[in-house]
Structure 1
Amino acid sequence: MKVYFETYGCTLNKGDTLTMMSLLRERKHQLTNDISSADVIVINTCTVRMETEEKMKKRIKELVSTGKKLVVAGCLAGAEPALVTSLAPSASLIGPQSLESVVKAVEGDSRVVEIGSKPPTLLPKVHEGLIAVIPIADGCAGHCNFCITKLARRILRSYSMRAIKEAVQESVRRGAKEIELTGQDTAAYGLDLGGLVGLPDLVREISSVEGDFMIRVGMMTPDLAMRRLDEIIEAWSHPKVYKFFHIPVQSGNDRVLRLMGRKYTVEEFKALVKEIRSRIPQSNITTDVIVGHPGEDEDAFKDTLDLMRELKFERIHIAMYSLRPNTRSSMMPQVPGDVKRRRLKEAVSLYEELSLEVHKKYVGREMRVLALERGKGESVLARTENYIPVVLDMVELGRWYDVKIIDSSFFDLRGMII
């Protein structure tokens, strides 16, 4: 059959799509980018925020109207199967921890509903472009009160180190220049394997793979990163590893962190960031912030702004709290919508101001960058060794360049080939 995929959400979702594609290719099905020629449509959904869910609902209705066989996969299918069924009664439902069931859903004559947790499937064998997305684990070890993803990815399931290394070797052999190790919480890797291996062990093993490529490690929670910080810093010191750390703080107030179900204090987070920066001075610390979570008053919000000013993160993903059904946070007294919107606007404005200040310090420096993606027009997006984006003009993808930084914005840098 010809199968068309649409993917929404995080990098882990993209990895899940690659896994499903691999399974179908092994069964000799044909993947197509043309929805009109497809026999089956698979939509891999996200439900992390309310507006995202609304977008998913609208798109599912549109796909139902095509009259084609439909498979709804991903977090919306896993977390809210009744909702999906009401939108698409005949569609098959595949949860993010039942990916192998996509074969049965595509090939079978009857509706398939598989939303529970099963042993992890083999890693994807589909390689696309210069950036290879390699899932290392599915699920997490946390219980954040605002998170609906936990309802879809209920348990932590780590892939074997051997399988991950083989996937990396195959990707590098086929031309990948960046390996993105992704997971809901990469720092949780190996906890379900008896604690015999962990994220630092995996990164060291991947660093030993021959070839010219860089490793980017996805989000890790502060509390689990703290447990093996010395080993993490040692592993990140390898020249093949981007000096990039995505560590979400979510709030700068301890009371709000407790209401969120986070397992660290603000002072512990500050110590973590300062230790990384002291031992890897060029490190890029990226974080996430939620404004307007239940229990956040004006003083708590001010604490978050103060933390942003103090730590001057290279990048911040700022989100307004979104009520998600069946989560603990949804049952707490809510912050009014207009207050949340005002706080979001204020936090984003401060972030842009601080990020511009951070990026201005790069102007005039000479740096080594790896060209990876097409930009607007004839521009190319490259990455520094600490993963800051640099816009270049008319260069070849997949190559390293020595550049001089000539300008900056809050979002990226602009370079000139030396």
Structure 2
Amino acid sequence: MEDIEDMLAGAPAGFRLPISASVGVNPKKKIKQPSSFQHFLTPLPSPKIPGTQVIYIKTFGCSHNQSDSEYMAGQLSSFGYALSDNADEADLWLINTCTVKSPSQSAMDTLISRCKTAKKPLVVAGCVPQGSRDIKELEGVSIVGVQQIDRVVEVVEETLKGHEVRLLNRKTLPALDLPKVRKNKFVEILPINVGCLGACTYCKTKHARGHLGSYTVDSLVGRVRSVVADGVKEIWLSSEDTGAYGRDIGVNLPILLNAIVAALPLDGSTMLRIGMTNPPYILEHLKEIADVLRHPCVYSFLHVPVQSGSDAILSAMNREYTVGDFRTVVDTLTELVPGMQIATDIICGFPGETDEDFAQTVNLIKDYKFPQVHISQFYPRPGTPAARMKKVPSTSVKKRSRELTSVFESFTPYNGMEGRIERIWITEIATDGKHLVGHTKGYMQVLVVGPGSMLGTSAIIRITSVGRWSVFGEVIETLNSTKDNVESKERSDRSENCCSLSNLEESCACAGELDACACGHESCGGLNLTEENGGSLSKSGSWADDRSNLNVFGWLLRKRKNHQTTKLEDDSLQHIARQESAAGAHMWTAVDRLLLGGICASFLTILALFLYFASNILSS
């Protein structure tokens, strides 16, 4: 099987072209057919019109994988496909896979087997096919590579026709502005780079995601502005290693973070969560990152994997830092950022790990009592150096995992918080269906009771009780996430900057969006709202509604004013124009006068010609 590569280079997202069977497409033979090459190329008939089938999407793995699935879902939905959580009713299954741990791949194998048994068309995406394209479970299956998600519509269409398609190789990153269907409409998972600079001996992900490739600061900030306008309330920066961002394009993580924070709403209605970062790449930027984490629109939370408390094991893992480096990261951020919370990861039973090595790991966790620790057993991943190392007996691995889990669960990080007043951001419904889930600035999970209309809002709560994994609170006040008192105050403080405008978007210091202008109707009031083409929007609303003036001059002028009014995309601006119209209808611009003068001159010329020809006819 050859890979289809760059066959539709430059085709816009959602643009559909047939994929030639001669370039990497295998029609699947369902039954024994005559040995006719032409018949072999004939695709199976589709029971439905292309683009109308139902697609089931299942995602394994990290937030980056979740974002990829949301992008693929968005393109399929935009093209007309229906999305369903019910696998049985779907016409095709799309499985987005993870290669980090054996259990994830085992679950994928089970799902693929189930799909084949059900005789459903299948597309497999994600890290497993990208990093291990030749495994037997993927025989006869269509594949979408991690950098080919913008071509998922092509693959789905051809698979539904009975073809096997494989798109794997590419050197450019998928665009960030592709259509997207978010699993949670209030949360945007934003990939800032793919791949990493590390070479951990146990990691399979780099085989799939490759070397570091970063999106530009401008493209990421543009995406942030877009999703905020779309109503997103949390932005998660995601990648294989957030701290390594930009080292391939001459920038760094603090530069990006400061640019993104500057694009967030001033009222704190949208929060930023910085993704997982390994210690080596943030050591030189700790103070700059601490400054960002203190910002009111950024969660005081960071996921920093340590993996082991033993320098010997970290060296065997090729993690490129020491336990002392990790402690420096934690100590510095905890000192500089009030309420700072750090989560970490531990691998139990890495090859060569002794009881002493493990004891050092336990002591590290006890020292810091992290509120979140992700504990996993070592799983050898095929093709990695660690898979060839001498393994720790599985009984010892399981025992160490249980022991560390017991230590972690003995912590009571939220004790004594009853009665504390906190601001939370509410973005989802709890699994019990009764509570809403919010997070404090330190990303502590808070469960509250309230109507579904509170989703996407911020609230002031009082903590009433605490549990091991979260706390419970009662809502004191719900804050309007679009125009609360904080926003009003900040805008009114700056309204003096908005009182003289020739171009609303450029000159209004309050915001780039029309409805965000703090000037108000009076302070923006005697202005000339100039369009890009130089025409005036001045005070013209009444022209479009004046139906009594039916003469030709009035009609032409109304048409011109009407044309201008349709260019006002913002309802509030139309309202301003209508309010101004009564006072300013008599104020004509030079273009108005020229238009009227031209019409009058034309009329007089026609009248003069008519009289001239009439007099000639009469005289003859």
Give the TM-score normalised by the residue count of structure 1. Answer: 0.94
Structure 2: distance between partners of 1:77 and 1:199: 30
Equivalence for 1:126? 180
1:291 counterpart (337, 348, 356): 348
2:414 counterpart (343, 359, 363): 359
Instruction: Give 1:29 deviation, angstroms.
Output: 4.3
Structure 1: distance between partners of 2:79 and 2:181: 17
Structure 1: distance between partners of 2:114 and 2:89: 16
Instruction: Give 1:398 deviation, angstroms.
Output: 1.7
Structure 1 residue 80 and structure 2 residue 135: aligned?
Answer: no
1:139-164 CA distances to partner (integer Å, 9 max, x unpaired)?
11111111111111112121222222
1:337-382 CA distances to partner (integer Å, 9 max, x unpaired)?
110111111101111112x1x2214333221111111011321111
1:99-136 CA distances to partner (integer Å, 9 max, x unpaired)?
23423312335322233343101114315311111111
Question: How do residues 1-400 of structure 1 correspond to structure 2 at under 5 angstroms?
Answer: 1=51, 2=53, 3-25=55-77, 27-83=79-135, 86-108=136-158, 110-123=163-176, 124-128=178-182, 129-193=185-249, 195=250, 197-211=251-265, 212-354=269-411, 356=412, 358-375=413-430, 376-395=432-451, 396-400=454-458
Structure 2: distance between partners of 1:30 and 1:55: 25
Structure 2: distance between partners of 1:213 and 1:117: 34
Unmatched tracts of structure 1, length 5 or more? none
1:292-319 CA distances to partner (integer Å, 9 max, x unpaired)?
1111110010000100111221211111
Letter in 1 for 2:455: L
Asked if 2 retains the 8 angstrom alpha-carbon contact of 1:64 and 1:88, the reply is no
Q: 3-state DSSP class of the match of 2:312?
A: helix
User: Which is strand-richer, 1 or 2?
Assistant: 1
Q: 3-state DSSP class of the match of 1:111?
A: strand
TM-align CA RMSD:
1.8
Instruction: Give 1:92 deviation, angstroms.
Output: 1.0
Asked if 1 retains the 8 angstrom alpha-carbon contact of 2:75 and 2:180, the reply is no
Equivalence for 1:401? 459
Letter in 2 for 1:413: V
Structure 1: distance between partners of 2:423 and 2:381: 43
Asked if 1 retains the 8 angstrom alpha-carbon contact of 2:74 and 2:181, the reply is no
Q: 3-state DSSP class of the match of 1:232?
A: helix
Structure 1: distance between partners of 2:388 and 2:279: 26
Asked if 2 retains the 8 angstrom alpha-carbon contact of 1:127 and 1:174, the reply is no
Instruction: Give 1:11 deviation, angstroms.
Output: 0.4
Asked if 2 retains the 8 angstrom alpha-carbon contact of 1:127 and 1:171, the reply is no
Structure 1 residues 335 and 117, CA gap change in structure 2 (3 angstroms) = farther
Give the TM-score normalised by the residue count of structure 2. Answer: 0.64
Structure 2: distance between partners of 1:220 and 1:210: 22
The list of structure 1 runs, each at least 4 consecutive aligned residues, that deviate by more than 6 angstroms after superposition, is: none
More relative contact order in 1 or in 2 (CA 8 Å, sep 6+)?
1
- Kindly name which structure, 1 or 2, has the bigger radius of gyration based on alpha carbons: 2
Q: Could you tell me the percent identity over the aligned residues?
A: 33
Q: 3-state DSSP class of the match of 1:277?
A: helix
Instruction: Give 1:88 deviation, angstroms.
Output: 4.3
Q: 3-state DSSP class of the match of 2:119?
A: coil
Instruction: Give 1:180 deviation, angstroms.
Output: 0.9
Asked if 2 retains the 8 angstrom alpha-carbon contact of 1:117 and 1:153, the reply is no
1:155-176 CA distances to partner (integer Å, 9 max, x unpaired)?
2121222222222222222211
Structure 1 residues 327 and 392, CA gap change in structure 2 (3 angstroms) = same
Instruction: Give 1:410 deviation, angstroms.
Output: 2.3
Asked if 2 retains the 8 angstrom alpha-carbon contact of 1:96 and 1:115, the reply is yes
Instruction: Give 1:37 deviation, angstroms.
Output: 4.7
Q: 3-state DSSP class of the match of 1:367?
A: strand
> Alignment length, in residue pairs?
412
Letter in 2 for 1:20: M
- Which range is displaced more, 126-135 or 19-28? 19-28
Letter in 1 for 2:261: S
